[in-house]
Structure 1
Amino acid sequence: MRKLAVYAGAFSLGIFLAQYLLPPDWLLPGALVCLGLGWAAFLLPWEVRRRCVAACAALALALGWNWLYIRQVQKPLEVLAGMEGPAVMTLCGYAEKTDYGARAVVRLEGVPLGKAVFYGDWPLLELEPGQTVSAVARFQSAGRIRDTDVTSFTSKGVFLLAYGRGEAVYGSGTSSSPRWWPVRLGRAMAEKIQELYPDSSAGFLTAILTGDKTGLPEGDGIALSEAGLYHVMAVSGMHCGFLLTLAAGLTGKRRRFTAILVLPLLVFYALLTGGSPSVVRACVMLAFLLAAPLFCRDSDPPTALAAALFLILLANPFAAASVSLQLSFAAMAGLLWLTPKLMRALAGERDGFFRLLAASFSATMGALVFTTPLTAWYFGRLVLVSPLSNLLSLWAAGLGFMLGLLSAAAGFFCAPLGMAVALAPRALVWYILRAAHLMADIPHHALYYTNPYLKYWLIFVYVLFALACVLRPKGRRKYAAAALLAVLTLAVTVKLGQRRCQADLDVFVLDVGQGQCVLLASEGRFALVDCGSGNSWLSAGDMAADYLSSLGCKRLDYLILTHYDQDHVSGVAALTERMGVQTLLAPDVSDSAGLREAVLSAAEASGASVEFPGELRSIALGGAALAVYPPVGEGGDNDEGLSVLASAGELDLLVTGDMDRATERKLLAAYDLPDIEVLVAGHHGSRYSTSEELLEALRPETVCVSVGNNSYGHPAEEALERLARQGCTVFRTDLHGTIHLSLNREK
């Protein structure tokens, strides 16, 4: 078994090197070099020869396999990027809604390997897996979207995006093949849950049973995330363990019969939930665990873990960049290595309830220690209440999963019986969500890496405990001292983060992609001008809430919306759910996209008072002052918006939203604007905004462009040239990230 672990581990290492470090042109030469090293390893002593030969052979296979996969799977799809033409596509699953229609994972006719995502119209939602759609499509690479390699698509074997053009023919083909049975059963189960659970518990149970989180209310999702419980809904090894526990309970202690029943059931469940790396990892490890006694072998969890990673990366080397895979394997490594050590240290020879608590705490901490650096990198948060919330809720999640599955199964045969069984899961879901909301309401329940000092604290803590582990003498006191020092330094870190805003007016132009979100802070008072992003992978509301929380803000004083475009208001719901708003100021105009009502509903639900300025509105913000100008244009959403002038003494910043040059002239004519120091470029640097007239009248010294990946050509060369002629210093969020400016009045 250990030989397999060496080979699988070396193969996995080679794939990670190929994905993260080595250029594609180096893969084949690298494989040949590894083969040469493998032959040279035959000169080593027998004790180490076998392992070295196996490791070199595995590395050579990994690099060669990655090269072959790119050549045979990725490139045949990416060669279509930039083209437009007819295509016949077979759905690999059910379509899901988007803001402008629907999308589905498909396979292109004539390209047998690799997948694409097709963006089409609403009829796509009525198709079943296995059916086809014929359409003219414009193709785009799924591997180069944000000027960097994209992992969310390529890690799932998707290398092409197809955008429908014109009329499409939907519904040919068949969905009756056994290949599609797991996906169809997953949809049928989700529909049955909706029947049995008429309240909000349906979204939670659908998520933990099938992996579909689209029905979960946004407020519940935010609470689970803030409490460190969102992993409960990400179908993973934990859920496979619940399934195994349920099967073992139904079959009794007959190990052979349990193995024969559970092995195909795990494969079917993995297909039903979409085959995420975390589920595949769990299925392979449980298969090793169940099959080992059948072949009179001892189970070896590290070997099973390495073998699972080998199989996943063999199927798709790009899965190495999957966040789900990295978190799942890191958590499992912590459970295998650190959890037993913590358990022995905490429980010793004790039994009973204390041992149960120690086991739960040890498992949670073992997983957290290995996953915290990854969650910091990918999600930018450190959830301090996670051990407590997991201790309170995981047992309920397990029971809820098993009873929810039983209620859905019973509901297919007898609806009244299914509804009766559903009473217990409904109560358990209520308990979990209530616990999550309570945990999320605790002050400092989570910390955010928008506090730049927090990452240094995290590195310090890992180094601190590593030193405690290797230094003598042995004993618990040094770990207790390290823990106390970690807590004290964390308190200092939090205070330092809150004291970053010491200027008369601090301005943060947040990097929210193609959108706008400008945070203003002065003497403990906070205002936010716009909160939206046009890039679906970014949540402007969460980002703004993270910054506000790290600065010590518990409730936002003012939220000012220049207008109702998606890239200026998409984050309002998430922001108000997490932070709450004292006063919302917005234009009293209708919007073509119908976002006004959603924004006002979210604001009112948070207890905000809503104002529609019809004339100049002056606001005191700590040591600064805000002037909110009413709409001066007409004829469109962009030109009927608010403008904001923030001033600290003689220093001024102006935000004009998306108004064009004609409306800028009207603003200059209607109000006596001062010379300003900072301008947030209009309409993300559009050629039609930030006109010569505005620049000559206001003479800004610094211009911030809030912009991200887009197809509009923002910022336009014409706009950048105007700024250069004016002698402005230009900062761009797509190049410089979040921009922090401090304005101090002269003493």
Structure 2
Amino acid sequence: MLLCSLLFQRRSRALNALGLAAIIWLLLSPRSLFAPGFQLSFAATAGILLLYPVLSRNLLPESDRLFIVLLVKPVLRVFFVSVSAFAATAPVLMYHFGELSLFGLAANLVAVSLMTVTMNAFFAGTVAFALWPPAATAVMRAAEASLWVTCRIADFGASLPWATIALPVPPVELTLVFVMFLLGLAATGKDSFKGYVSWAAPGMFAVIPLVLLVRTWTMPMETISFSLAEGDIAGIRFPGGNCWLVGAGPETRYNRPYRDAIQPWLRGTLFGRLTTVVLPQTPTNIVHDLEPILQNHDVRELVLCHEPRDPLLQEDLQGFLGEYKVRLNLLHRPTAFVPSPGCTLRVYPGEGHAGYELR
């Protein structure tokens, strides 16, 4: 659309171009609509187009001092681009990955400039290759070096414990409130910006805890089953947020039940707290299978129908549970648990025929 506008000497509109690009993309690949890459790309671009002009128009200092013009304003412009993309992609990141990168806001101050160098060098190298290939090599080396530094910055951010925060999938109500806030912000003018932020931002932050509280305590009990080749795993979420896990699949290189099934389910339970793990059958590699669960959740109790036969494995399990301060509840007869009114979990111990029943 941009090239056509130049050809016909018409003014191009970035949002129209973005919409046209999305339509063409979806016509060629309709399934991309549900892909994180498509959603993140277009959300970030839309956020920059809608929010950056508002932020730069209202928050950039108006001073003409040389220090402000040469240093402060360029840095703030890059920061506003980062904030705009971050705000627009936050709901998508929380839904698909359950994480928000705080380090990215600061890293983008350098990464955006480096990517500008990378892209310009890449296009210059492409043109130079057609004219004089030796010159293209030098230009592409510059693009490679810039991209290498960008990747090292990303690796450094990933190694920091505070670089990302884990969050549950946000309720639909909160996502709508946040999107409406951003759209309202994008529509503000020079005179209405401060007034809108002064009442809309506190209102949005007041709604968030209220919605979370209501959703947490009114959500009914939920049970879900994950079918695995080695058996089934049941997840139970009780009113109030406590969760139980019945069974734990073997963690292998090609089979990751925690990463692929259990963790996404817990993220979708809105602050679900995994407090108890029940194992009707004792896995051969019980410590290895439980490790990702105990590392990421404050499990208080492990219910076993029988201990491992190997004395060394028993000792290893005791030390492992002690490290995470998990209480071991060893069953010797059929036991009924009532974690919540209206829900009864019966566990039947026994060598080779242990099982459970949920009512």
TM-score range, shorter chain: 0.5 to 0.7
Matches of 1:347 and 1:490 in 2, distance apart? Answer: 29
Match of residue 135 from structure 1: none
Correspondence 1:479 to 2:165: no
| 1:545 to 1:532, Cα distance in 2 relative to 1, 3 A | farther
Q: Which runs of structure 2 are paired with 1:112-511 in the superposition (5 Å)?
A: 322-335=35-48, 337-349=50-62, 351=68, 358-359=76-77, 361-375=79-93, 377-379=95-97, 381=98, 383=100, 386=101, 388-391=102-105, 429=156, 432-436=159-163, 440=165, 446-449=167-170, 454-467=171-184, 469-470=186-187, 474-501=192-219, 507-510=221-224
1:561 is aligned, of 276, 279, 283, to 279
Amino acid paired to 1:484: P
Amino acid paired to 1:446: L
RMSD: 4.9
Amino acid paired to 1:615: R
Matches of 1:357 and 1:335 in 2, distance apart? Answer: 16
List per-residue Cα deviations over 1:528-566 (Å, max 9, x = no partner).
Answer: 323559787962331343255525x4xx33211233679
Matches of 1:471 and 1:343 in 2, distance apart? Answer: 12
1:545 is aligned, of 224, 247, 266, to 266
8 Å CA contact retained: 2:224, 2:235: yes
Query: How far does residue 519 in structure 1 lie from its aligned partner after superposition?
Result: 1.3
Query: How far does residue 523 in structure 1 lie from its aligned partner after superposition?
Result: 6.2
Amino acid paired to 1:434: P
Matches of 1:12 and 1:520 in 2, distance apart? Answer: 38
Amino acid paired to 2:330: F
SS in 2 for 1:632: coil
| 1:393 to 1:524, Cα distance in 2 relative to 1, 3 A | same
List per-residue Cα deviations over 1:576-599 (Å, max 9, x = no partner).
Answer: 3332211111343669xxx99999
Correspondence 1:584 to 2:298: no
TM-score normalized by structure 1? 0.32
Amino acid paired to 1:583: E
Amino acid paired to 2:234: C
8 Å CA contact retained: 2:95, 2:169: no
Amino acid paired to 2:87: V
SS in 2 for 1:560: strand
8 Å CA contact retained: 2:258, 2:292: no
Matches of 2:301 and 2:78 in 1, distance apart? Answer: 43
8 Å CA contact retained: 2:278, 2:304: yes
Matches of 1:536 and 1:583 in 2, distance apart? Answer: 20
8 Å CA contact retained: 1:532, 1:540: no
| 1:343 to 1:321, Cα distance in 2 relative to 1, 3 A | same
| 1:530 to 1:547, Cα distance in 2 relative to 1, 3 A | farther
Matches of 2:241 and 2:24 in 1, distance apart? Answer: 51
List per-residue Cα deviations over 1:271-316 (Å, max 9, x = no partner).
Answer: xxxxxxxxxxxxxxxxxxxxxxxxxxxxxxxxxxxxxxxxxxxxxx
| 1:342 to 1:432, Cα distance in 2 relative to 1, 3 A | farther
Match of residue 134 from structure 2: none
Amino acid paired to 1:17: L
Correspondence 1:530 to 2:247: yes
Percent sequence identity over aligned pairs: 15
8 Å CA contact retained: 1:544, 1:575: no
Matches of 1:561 and 1:17 in 2, distance apart? Answer: 48
TM-score normalized by structure 2? 0.60
Q: Which runs of structure 2 are paired with 1:58-137 in the superposition (5 Å)?
A: none
Query: How far does residue 349 in structure 1 lie from its aligned partner after superposition?
Result: 3.2
605-614 or 578-587: bigger deviation? 605-614
SS in 1 for 2:233: strand
Unaligned runs of 5+ in 2: 6-11, 113-151
Match of residue 233 from structure 2: 516
Amino acid paired to 2:263: D
| 1:618 to 1:537, Cα distance in 2 relative to 1, 3 A | closer
Amino acid paired to 2:160: L
Match of residue 26 from structure 2: 16
8 Å CA contact retained: 1:631, 1:642: yes
SS in 2 for 1:607: coil
Unaligned runs of 5+ in 1: 21-150, 152-318, 399-424, 644-653, 656-677, 679-747
Amino acid paired to 1:14: I
| 1:521 to 1:357, Cα distance in 2 relative to 1, 3 A | farther
Matches of 2:235 and 2:259 in 1, distance apart? Answer: 15
| 1:358 to 1:574, Cα distance in 2 relative to 1, 3 A | farther
Query: How far does residue 492 in structure 1 lie from its aligned partner after superposition?
Result: 1.0
User: Which of the pair has the greater relative contact order for Cα pairs under 8 Å at 6+ separation?
Assistant: 2
Query: How far does residue 430 in structure 1 lie from its aligned partner after superposition?
Result: 8.6
Matches of 2:42 and 2:314 in 1, distance apart? Answer: 43
**What is the number of residues matched between the two proteins?**
293
Amino acid paired to 1:349: E
Q: Which runs of structure 2 are paired with 1:595-614 in the superposition (5 Å)?
A: 606-614=324-332
Q: Which runs of structure 2 are paired with 1:690-705 in the superposition (5 Å)?
A: none
Amino acid paired to 1:621: P
Query: How far does residue 328 in structure 1 lie from its aligned partner after superposition?
Result: 3.3
| 1:627 to 1:465, Cα distance in 2 relative to 1, 3 A | closer
Amino acid paired to 1:2: L
Match of residue 3 from structure 2: 3
List per-residue Cα deviations over 1:473-522 (Å, max 9, x = no partner).
Answer: 63321133211111111111111122125xxxx53123656543321426
SS in 2 for 1:434: coil
SS in 1 for 2:179: helix
Match of residue 119 from structure 2: none
Q: Highest CA radius of gyration, 1 or 2?
A: 1
Query: How far does residue 323 in structure 1 lie from its aligned partner after superposition?
Result: 2.7
Amino acid paired to 1:341: V
Amino acid paired to 1:490: I
Matches of 1:392 and 1:494 in 2, distance apart? Answer: 29
8 Å CA contact retained: 2:60, 2:73: yes
| 1:527 to 1:359, Cα distance in 2 relative to 1, 3 A | same
Query: How far does residue 455 in structure 1 lie from its aligned partner after superposition?
Result: 1.0
User: Higher helix share goes to which structure?
Assistant: 2
Q: Which runs of structure 2 are paired with 1:643-662 in the superposition (5 Å)?
A: 643=356, 654-655=357-358
8 Å CA contact retained: 2:225, 2:235: no
Amino acid paired to 1:367: A
